[in-house]
Structure 1
Amino acid sequence: MRLSELVGRLQPAVLGMLHVGALPGTPRNCLPLPGIIDKACHEAEIYKDAGIDGLIVENMHDLPYTTSVGPEITAAMTVISAAVKQTCPQLPLGIQILCSANQQAVAVALAAGLDFIRAEGFVFSHVADEGIINACAGDLLRYRKQIGAEHIQIFADIKKKHSAHALTADVSVSETAKAAELFLADGIVLTGTATGMPADPEELKEVEQAVKIPVLIGSGVTLENVRNYLDANALIIEYDSVHGTP
């Protein structure tokens, strides 16, 4: 099932972030790749049993992030994603590779049989904790075309968290969303200012009025505030939300 089949429902789809362990070659790596794969598949099973609508595989623990992601990360994310796909063959699956490794994510999605990617830095530049991130839409969509991956959808973060947006202070969130739609994003991801921080419900209303493509909430959704986001097309949650950890 494609994610687009879920985001058209009357109620928001719920997507789980599958944060894989720190990968080989990164400073915090402590598990061999087979152990990382086993843990990822175990968490995927928990999500599936909880009734999740889809999953996004992400290398969140590869701190500190770099804009020069090596081939070892792409290779590891491919085998992990393929294993998760085998574990949850009926779920829509996506991938995000930090930081801003969007072409690598498309390649992994194609090789592992995934459905979509979550991309940062799609339109407009911003200053992130990894450095300056420039817009990638033109190069990314051309790359997707060149490798025959046009069926892989792209859901683009805008006004990305953990970033300064002084460079585009005169560009509103709705204008940013319109630019992403114009540049052929398949959906928009709205977040708070940092991981775990809630998105602004007013921004959700503003963006939904500005674009016709799906709008996803990408951070900070809890049982206490979920009512603020029921008009979104999808809600992205973390493993702790289904595992019962505060």
Structure 2
Amino acid sequence: MQRFMKVFGQQTCKVIGMIHVDALPGTPRYGGNWKQTIEKAIFEANLYKKHQLDAVLIENMHDIPYVPERHLGAEIVACMTRLAREVRSVIPKETPCGVQVLACGNKQALAIAKASQLQFIRCEGFVFGHVADEGYTDACAGDLLRYRKLIDAEDVLVFTDLKKKHSSHAITADVNLLETSHAAEFFMTDGIIITGTATGHAASPEDLQQLSGKVKVPLLIGSGITKDNIKSYYKDAHAVIIGSHFKKNGNWLKEISDQAVEDFMREICKLRNSS
């Protein structure tokens, strides 16, 4: 918890805004305009800066269909590093920035964070194996944290998804969420991310309450947060990661809506002022 507080401060329920960068070179949906991809990421970073979000997370979510980590090309790391540096230059120095590389590009994300002076990564497959739509995902905690040590990136926080969305967890059906959380905590996670079953689907408030007070690491909600349901998570969540709700019509494929961000931040300010 001390590592989290050192980076994010004491305020309850931090708001982390997603920047879903356009499809990168070499992926099926790449539009052929790299300059435009950079400019769009900068535009969205400035929008989050305008509304004073607590943190920003960039992700290559448009690189569908995703490939396993072993097939991620050098161009993805290079392009995400460039985008991360551009975003980091826009966001105030005191505001944490992070990165996620799909799918399961956790070492790549650490390298990007190191090179771009980011403060955290979002990691898939930290503990326990599972089957995702891009294939089998094996646990990576031991290898990942050794790599973090190797590249002198121990100041980069690793937030880890549990029972990850878009995945089958039949092979670990006998390991409940709390037991999985204790395993991630034992394996030195810097924060646990709880999600719904898919992008934009709300995480269960009951899942959050099941873990609240039973683990010593921060709890983050990684999907489905809106201005209408934030009250259900505000008390127990140390942070919420928001992507879809900030987009037009709540669709992650659309552009960010300035009004949606403004409305949500107004609601979170009300909760903070009343607590």
Against the structure 1 CA distance between its residues 212 and 8, is the aligned structure 2 distance closer, same or farther, given a 3 Å change threshold?
A: farther
Q: 1:56 and 2:57 equivalent? A: yes
1:107-186 correspondence to structure 2 within 5 Å: 107-186=111-190
1:34-53 correspondence to structure 2 within 5 Å: 34-53=35-54
The percent identity for this pair of structures is 51
Find the counterpart in structure 1 of residue 67 from structure 2: 66
What TM-score does the superposition give when structure 1 sets the normalisation length? Answer: 0.95
Do 2:4 and 2:218's aligned partners in 1 also have CA atoms closer than 8 Å?
A: no
Find the counterpart in structure 2 of residue 212 from structure 1: 216
Separation in 2 of the partners of 1:78 and 1:125?
Answer: 28
1:118: Cα distance to partner?
0.4
The CA deviation string for residues 79-121 of structure 1, in whole angstroms up to 9 with x for no partner, is 0000000011322000000000000000000000100100000
Do 1:186 and 1:213's aligned partners in 2 also have CA atoms closer than 8 Å?
A: yes
The CA deviation string for residues 162-209 of structure 1, in whole angstroms up to 9 with x for no partner, is 000001000000111111110000000000000000000011011223
Find the counterpart in structure 2 of residue 244 from structure 1: 259
| AA partner of residue 237 (structure 2) | A
Separation in 2 of the partners of 1:228 and 1:6?
Answer: 25
Structure 2 counterpart of 1:197, from 201, 218, 234: 201
Against the structure 1 CA distance between its residues 35 and 41, is the aligned structure 2 distance closer, same or farther, given a 3 Å change threshold?
A: same
Gaps of 5+ in 1: none
Do 1:8 and 1:233's aligned partners in 2 also have CA atoms closer than 8 Å?
A: no
Do 2:29 and 2:63's aligned partners in 1 also have CA atoms closer than 8 Å?
A: yes
What TM-score does the superposition give when structure 2 sets the normalisation length? Answer: 0.86
Secondary structure in 2 matching 1:75: helix
Cα RMSD (Å): 1.6
Do 1:26 and 1:62's aligned partners in 2 also have CA atoms closer than 8 Å?
A: yes
| AA partner of residue 86 (structure 2) | A
Separation in 2 of the partners of 1:203 and 1:219?
Answer: 13
Separation in 1 of the partners of 2:33 and 2:184?
Answer: 38
Do 1:7 and 1:233's aligned partners in 2 also have CA atoms closer than 8 Å?
A: no
1:6-45 correspondence to structure 2 within 5 Å: 9-45=10-46
1:10: Cα distance to partner?
4.8
Q: 1:89 and 2:104 equivalent? A: no
1:51: Cα distance to partner?
1.5
The CA deviation string for residues 44-91 of structure 1, in whole angstroms up to 9 with x for no partner, is 101111120000010000000001211100000000000000011322
Separation in 2 of the partners of 1:201 and 1:245?
Answer: 22
Secondary structure in 1 matching 2:136: strand
Separation in 2 of the partners of 1:100 and 1:155?
Answer: 13
Greater mean alpha carbon deviation, residues 20-29 or residues 203-212: 203-212
1:23: Cα distance to partner?
0.2
Greater mean alpha carbon deviation, residues 142-151 or residues 82-91: 82-91
Find the counterpart in structure 1 of residue 191 from structure 2: 187
